[in-house]
Amino acid sequence: MGVITGTTKLLGVIGYPVEHSLSPIMHNAALTSLSRNVGQRLDYIYVALSVGPADLATALAGFAAIGLRGFNVTIPHKQAILPLLDQVSAIAQAVGAVNTVWRTEQGWSGTNTDVQGFLAPLQGQRDWQQTTALVLGSGGAARAVIAGCAQLGCKAIRVVGRDLQKLKYFQQSWNPALSGISSRTAGPGTAFLKNLHIHTWTDLPALLPQADLLVNTTPVGMHPQVNQSPLSGHDVEQLPTQAIVYDLIYTPSPTYLLKQGRARGLTTINGLEMLVQQGAAALEIWLNQPAPMDVMRQAAQEYLAS
């Protein structure tokens, strides 16, 4: 990003609300850095666009009319945008949510880079085939996490939630989508279905000792509830010594849960890496060149610390 001229092309993020988004900070830092390093101006600017739920289709038509190149999608549009797109990737269909959209000659294409973002800090950490993933929460982010765990090939994926009825619906919702994940990397769809288990929080004591990967997808511990954790001190003691504790929350950093994990000497991962990596994957789609991940990470970290 440099001087905005008459030829500057538009990228952005849509959401409602969207003002809190870190994406403009990360993406504009990346565009500036790429321009500097490549020695040619990348003539783009990335902005936050507030789009109310009732205006989504109108906004999309408007974006096409003004030649917007691509955009990220955040709450509440990640699911609602699917039927409005002309092509949706297999992984986005499997997750049931789109977070990255770009313009092609055939119209709007969408995919989900949250799965890739979630997976990035886990790749190469261990052989995932014999592992159990324990996922706390069953909302939107949990869907990307579960698709990611399926791609890793986890032996069992256990989802913990508050409401059994909601959990049953959540489990059933994967059925039509399973081939979308499995045909890529996760093995036979029936195996994934067999490996996905639902639990209420009362099952937690029995589940913790088996968890190789614990992922918090609930907002518990998020700013301003910084002294809360989805797990008690006793719960954390029950995790095996090889367990990885992964919290999708990126502010505060570390969260109380990650502090508990560190105090036990467990490997911990916070949500910033997922945020950076999903953003970098989106930028790579729009620009068709590698994104400067270090620059994006640093820009996000500096902004959060400011």
Is residue 223 at the binding interface for ligand NAP, with CB under 6 A as the rule? no
Q: In the numeric block, which tokens belong to residue 239?
A: 């995790």
Residue 162 engages ligand NAP in binding (rule: CB under 6 A): yes
CA torsion 279-282-287-288 (nearest 10°) is 120
Distance CA 29, CA 46 (A): 10
Among 88, 214, 274, 280, binds ligand NAP (CB under 6 A): 274
Q: Does 141 bind ligand NAP (CB under 6 A)?
A: yes
Which of 249, 281, 283, 295 is close enough to bind ligand NAP by CB under 6 A? 249
The Cα 23–Cα 30 span in angstroms is 10
The SS3 call for residue 10 is: strand
Nearest to residue 213, comparing CAs of 170, 173, 155, 167? Answer: 155
Of 93 and 277, nearer to ligand NAP (C-beta) is 277
Query: Which run of H or E residues covers position 11?
Result: strand 9-15
Which member of 139, 205, 209, 233 binds ligand NAP (CB under 6 A)?
139
Stretch that binds ligand NAP, among 8-16, 187-195, 216-224, 286-294 (CB under 6 A): 216-224
> Which of 89, 100, 217, 255 is in the footprint of ligand NAP by CB under 6 A?
217
The least CB distance from residue 136 to ligand NAP, in Å, is: 7
**Within 13 Å, how many C-alpha atoms sit on residue 222's CB side?**
10
Phi and psi at 70, nearest 5°, equal -175, 165
Backbone φ/ψ region at 57: left (φ over 0), alpha (ψ -120 to 50), beta: alpha
- Binding of ligand NAP by 161 (CB under 6 A): yes
Tell me the catalytic residues: 78
Q: Which of 140, 189, 252, 292 binds ligand NAP (CB under 6 A)?
A: 140
Rank residues 28 and 278 by Cβ distance to ligand NAP and give the closer one.
278
Which chain residues interact with ligand NAP by CB under 6 A?
75, 114, 117, 137-142, 161-163, 166, 217-220, 222, 248-250, 271, 274-275, 278
